[in-house]
Amino acid sequence: MVGDQRPCIAALVALDREAFARWKRRQGKPASATIGDLSQDPDLLAAVGEAVDRANTAVSHAEAIKRFRILPGCFAVGAELTP
């Protein structure tokens, strides 16, 4: 999350490797496509946008994510990311 001293809250989204693989199969995307390859794919952006919208229902308008970007790789919680 990025938002301190900013006009809105933004999120850097790291996708789960297994969930991304399942999503590619369901959507008929190439098995060899990486997150970086599909980070601007309209279908992936829509899927992540829906997840962001669901998360926003649990917070106030001021705390809601207004923008997000998909990080181009997979990251491990505890190694590169905090939980």
- Predicted pLDDT at 34: 94
Q: Please list, in sequence order, all residues whose beta carbon lies within 8 angstroms of the beta carbon of residue 1, skipping any fewer than 6 positions away.
A: 9, 10, 11, 12, 65
Ranges under pLDDT 50 in the chain: none
- Predicted pLDDT at 2: 64
- Predicted pLDDT at 61: 87
Quick one: what percent of the chain has pLDDT higher than 90? 53
0.85 exceeded by pTM: no
